[in-house]
A = this chain, B = another copy of it.
Amino acid sequence: MSFDRLIKAIDKTGNPTVAGLDPKLDYIPDTIKEKAFAQYGRGFDGAAAAILEFNKGLIDALCDIVPAVKPQCAYYEMYGWQGVKALSETIDYAKQSGMFVITDGKRNDIGSTMESYACAHIGTTDICGEKLAAFGADALTVNGYLGSDGINPLLNICRENDKGIFVLVKTSNPSSGELQDRILSSGISIYQQMGIFAESWGEDTRSLYGYSAVGAVVGATYPRQLEQMRKECPHTMFLVPGYGAQGGGAKDIIGAFDADGRGAIINSSRAIMCAYKKDGCSPEEYAEAARREAIRMRDEIAAAISER
């Protein structure tokens, strides 16, 4: 139920991190691309084949030490339906490798349409009485601007299918404050209000570790707000982007964790995917370099948590 599966996987690996799979072609070693282009052409088919191959290498290198992956839809959609097919195949491969999959789609819509997104990404679609999983991730990021009837269809599916959602609360980007930091007449900020919504939307899905099926996205680039939201949202699991390439470090994210060192999962995308570029090693060793960076990040976060 809710995020118990994710928390157990974090406990088992001793690693509260998720590897972002944002496979822009620029990030993919030339050897993988050239092989894919030779076989499928220099178009979306070739790009999609390169993406899948790249992702599989990362998943193979990470699956025993990183509990989860987070494919970002944008980097698949930009390669057309072929890219979206590669997203679907990536999710399947990660699940087969024992990883928890968070699809980062930030989906949002009104009730009847949100139900379709929920079916698409974490539920099943009914075709003539047969229920088929379209993308079948374990969790989905969502945007709560439309209020509870854009969230309720997800909650039904979370309950029935043991899935979770992460609602955008305080995002990691520089301009996140333009709207999110504005103060309401009630005296709290919009992101705090969204945190209150997340707590209440998840209220009747709390489980083993006290966390509900409704998590929140809170960026590593705003450590003060992260610490504040941990206090204000004690039953809300945090997905924390912005560590690494966006500038957040280990000391910036310790506030995301509860007294037991639980309650958060830290994302790193480029720093892991492109570790081979920073390492200066051969592009063919991208997977090994990703593993080294994932271990470094795991140990850095563990040290920061134990030192606090």
- Which residues does A use to contact B, with CB under 8 Å? 22, 24-25, 37, 42-44, 46-47, 72, 74-75, 77-81, 83-85, 87-88, 106-111, 113-114, 116-117, 119-121, 125-128, 130, 132, 134-135, 143-150, 168, 171-180, 182-187, 190, 193-194, 197, 241
Contacts and interface: CB of A to CB of B under 8 A. Distances in A.
Nearest to A87: B81
8 contacts: A47-B125, A78-B117, A81-B85, A106-B108, A145-B171, A147-B177, A150-B175, A182-B186
Nearest to A136: B80
Given A79-B125, A79-B134, A185-B185, A180 B116 contact: no
B130 A147 contact: no
Nearest to A34: B128
A223 to B, nearest CB: 17
A128 B50 CA distance: 13
A179 B241 CA distance: 24
Contacts of A175: 146-150
Contacts of A184: 182-185
A132 B45 CA distance: 12
B116 A178 contact: no
A169 to B, nearest CB: 10
A79 B108 CA distance: 18
Given A110-B173, A144-B179, A78 B197 contact: no
Contacts of A120: 74, 77-78, 80
A147 B75 contact: no
A106 B149 contact: no
Contact of A127 (B44, B108, B110): B44
A113 B22 contact: yes
Given A47-B125, A106-B109, 7 more contacts: A25-B127, A42-B130, A44-B127, A74-B114, A78-B117, A108-B143, A147-B176
Given A106-B108, A182-B193, A184-B185, A116 B174 contact: no
Contacts of A147: 173, 175-180
A176 B107 CA distance: 16
B116 A24 contact: yes
Given A109-B106, A127-B43, A184-B184, A179 B193 contact: yes
Contacts of A47: 125, 127
A128 B187 CA distance: 51
A81 B87 CA distance: 9
A74 B183 CA distance: 33
